[in-house]
């Protein structure tokens, strides 16, 4: 088809002005697509030789929009869309170069027309538009896209992104789709028949792309679809939830989790109060388990934003969220521990006193463990919680419960921790407690010393018992099948 179109374009003559006509091999004026080809199209060309039977009869797609009357522009629009339904192979950069350039110029014309069009799009035009976008965008990614992230780890942010070689065309198609979906000339009542469940599912599947530029375009488009087509909102949320479920509980492989969470973050801000049970289920079953995968660092910022948005909407959710974080606490991953502590601080800034009191015992037991961490960044981040005025206020009102929990960790740090910065922070926290309630600190410290003496006494007695057993075993003669305690 493209060869037939190109064969009907005239060759550039030396007697003609350089701007009077252009062939694809000599370059196309992309700033004004199609303007140099207005006179190149022959009205006598038979449409049937170029397009399938579904194209509009009598409209030559190489004409520029400015060269046809307003009554024919929509038909020309459909013809140009049909022309762009041919997909080229971009793995070979020198293959079909003239055809690729002509298609790119036509795509730019279509983008310009959608941006400036003020008349309502007809249903055939809507159908042709979504057909063209579907043919160009919906595709199966090669195996490397699905296998390259087998071991997603902490340093995935440093990995080099993969760029699609067809981006010169894909970018224009994405821009066209975004302009088309957001155009006031597109009636949602008509377009919802073509932006259906299948179209939405295949759009969400494209978030698996390794090209960050493509995922960024998809993020904008899916967000606009969610905003314009209210009838599809529950299905969009459900489909995104399924992506999260598969990622957390099955594969732990997906490239677009951050972008999908970013969309959901803006969706949460529009939730009405009180929150529906559906939204709370999403928080418990999707967002909280998303803290579990090793690749948390790739999408942590977006995830934390979504969680805090829920708590700002309904503060009584904070206690359940903290319990969820404690359930998935990364005991052996120091970088994730630092992220969890940062998110905890944001939650504590929004939590009310009643919810805090429900979780403060297990929460500060875990914080005490972090204070004693030999990884200095974890210990520092835990001690930095005392720099937050809201956290200090919560601790001060519940100091009789919290101080006995964290004081042993503070004393252990003060005596044994290897890092000087952690040691200094520990002494500052102890000083803050003393200024807060010196009598309570002395009482807790006395109780701590008693417990330490009991512990030391128990250890001493155990050691003495073992020594007696070893001495007795060494004096006992070996006879028959008598068991013998062998010292290393």
pLDDT in tens, 435-456: 988 898 888 888 888 888 888 8
Q: Report how far residue 385's alpha carbon sits from residue 381's, in angstroms, rounded to the nearest whole number.
A: 7
Three-state secondary-structure class, residue 472 = helix
Q: Report how far residue 299's alpha carbon sits from residue 291's, in angstroms, rounded to the nearest whole number.
A: 10
pLDDT bin (cut points 50, 70, 90) of residue 416 is confident
Neighbours of 367 (CB within 10 A): 20
**Pairwise pLDDT comparison (156 vs 119), residue with the higher score:** 119
pLDDT tens digits along 1-53: 555 555 544 444 333 333 333 333 333 333 333 333 333 333 333 333 333 43
pTM exceeds 0.85: no
Q: Report how far residue 483's alpha carbon sits from residue 429's, in angstroms, rounded to the nearest whole number.
A: 54
Q: Report how far apart, in Å, the C-alpha atoms of 24 and of each of 18, 27, 484 are.
A: 14, 5, 93
Q: In what helix (H) or strand (E) does residue 189 lie, and over which residues does it extend?
A: helix 188-191
Three-state secondary-structure class, residue 22 = coil
pLDDT bin (cut points 50, 70, 90) of residue 339 is very high
Three-state secondary-structure class, residue 468 = helix
Q: Is the pLDDT of residue 152 over 60?
A: no
pLDDT for residue 148: 44
Q: Report how far residue 180's alpha carbon sits from residue 81's, in angstroms, rounded to the nearest whole number.
A: 13
Q: Report how far residue 65's alpha carbon sits from residue 79's, in angstroms, rounded to the nearest whole number.
A: 11
Q: Is 191 within 8 Å of 131 (Cβ atoms)?
A: no
pLDDT tens digits along 348-377: 999 999 999 999 999 999 999 999 999 999
**Strand residues in 214-357 grouped as ranges (E):** none
Q: Which of 53-57, 69-73, 400-404, 441-445 has the lowest mean pLDDT?
A: 53-57
Q: Which of 256, 259, 265, 323 is nearest to 291 (CA)?
A: 323
pLDDT for residue 43: 37
Neighbours of 394 (CB within 10 A): 21
Q: Report how far residue 308's alpha carbon sits from residue 321's, in angstroms, rounded to the nearest whole number.
A: 10
Name all contacts of 276-279 with Cβ < 8 Å and 24+ positions apart. Answer: 278/234, 278/237, 279/310
Q: What residues have CB less than 8 Å from 428, skipping those under 6 apart? A: 383, 386
Q: Report how far apart, in Å, the C-alpha atoms of 352 and of each of 275, 320, 417 are.
A: 18, 13, 34
Q: Is the pLDDT of residue 284 over 90?
A: yes
pLDDT for residue 7: 52
Q: Report how far apart, in Å, the C-alpha atoms of 82 and of each of 6, 37, 87, 162, 434 are.
A: 16, 18, 11, 30, 78
Neighbours of 43 (CB within 10 A): 7
Q: Is 376 exposed, middle or buried (0-12, 13-18, 19+ CB in 10 A)?
A: middle
Q: Report how far residue 210's alpha carbon sits from residue 146's, in angstroms, rounded to the nearest whole number.
A: 9
DSSP category for residue 162: P
pLDDT tens digits along 76-114: 999 999 989 988 888 887 787 888 899 999 999 999 999
Q: What residues have CB less than 8 Å from 463, skipping those under 6 apart? A: none
Three-state secondary-structure class, residue 311 = helix
Name all contacts of 56-61 with Cβ < 8 Å and 24+ positions apart. Answer: 61/5, 61/106
């Amino acid at each position: 088809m493209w060869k037939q179109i190109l064969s009907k374009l005239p060759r550039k003559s030396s007697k003609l002005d350089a701007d009077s006509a252009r062939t694809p091999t000599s370059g196309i004026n992309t700033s004004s697509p199609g303007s140099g080809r207005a006179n190149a199209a022959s009205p006598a060309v038979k449409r049937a030789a170029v397009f399938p039977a579904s194209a509009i009869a009598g409209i030559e797609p190489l004409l520029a929009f400015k060269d046809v009357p307003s009554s024919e522009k929509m038909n020309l629009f459909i013809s140009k869309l049909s022309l762009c339904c041919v997909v080229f192979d971009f793995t070979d950069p020198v293959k079909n170069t003239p055809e690729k350039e002509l298609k790119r110029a036509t795509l730019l014309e279509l983008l310009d027309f959608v941006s400036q069009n003020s008349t309502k799009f007809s249903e055939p035009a809507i159908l042709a538009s979504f057909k063209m976008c579907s043919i160009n965008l919906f595709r199966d990614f090669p195996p490397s896209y699905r296998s390259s992230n087998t071991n997603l780890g902490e340093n995935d942010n440093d990995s080099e992104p993969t760029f699609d070689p067809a981006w010169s065309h894909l970018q224009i198609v994405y821009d066209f789709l975004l302009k088309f979906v957001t155009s006031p000339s597109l009636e949602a009542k008509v377009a919802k028949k073509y932006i259906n469940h299948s179209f939405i599912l295949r759009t969400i599947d494209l978030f698996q792309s390794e090209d960050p530029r493509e995922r960024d375009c998809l993020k904008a488009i899916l967000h606009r679809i969610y905003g314009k087509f209210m009838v599809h909102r529950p299905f969009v949320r459900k489909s995104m939830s399924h992506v999260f479920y598969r990622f957390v509980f099955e594969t732990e492989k997906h490239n677009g989790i951050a972008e999908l969470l970013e969309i959901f973050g803006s969706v949460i801000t529009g939730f009405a109060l009180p929150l529906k049970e559906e939204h709370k289920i999403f928080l418990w079953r999707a967002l909280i388990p998303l803290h579990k995968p090793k690749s948390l660092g790739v999408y942590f910022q977006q995830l934390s934003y979504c969680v805090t948005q829920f708590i700002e909407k309904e503060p009584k959710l904070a206690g359940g969220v903290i319990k969820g974080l404690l359930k998935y606490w990364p005991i052996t991953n120091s970088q994730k521990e630092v992220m969890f502590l940062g998110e905890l601080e944001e939650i504590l800034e929004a939590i009310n006193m009643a919810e805090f009191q429900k979780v403060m015992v297990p929460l500060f037991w875990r914080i005490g463990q972090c204070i004693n961490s030999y990884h200095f960044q974890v210990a520092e981040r835990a001690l930095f919680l005392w720099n937050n005025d809201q956290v200090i206020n919560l601790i001060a009102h519940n100091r009789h419960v919290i101080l006995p929990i964290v004081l042993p960790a503070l004393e252990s740090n003060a005596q044994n921790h290897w890092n000087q910065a952690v040691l200094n922070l520990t002494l500052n926290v102890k000083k803050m407690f003393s200024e807060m309630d010196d009598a309570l600190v002395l009482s807790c410290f006395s109780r701590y010393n008693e417990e330490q003496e009991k512990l030391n006494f128990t250890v001493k007695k155990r050691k003495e018992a073992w020594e007696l057993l070893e001495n007795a075993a060494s004096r006992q003669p070996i006879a028959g099948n008598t068991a013998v305690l062998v010292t290393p």
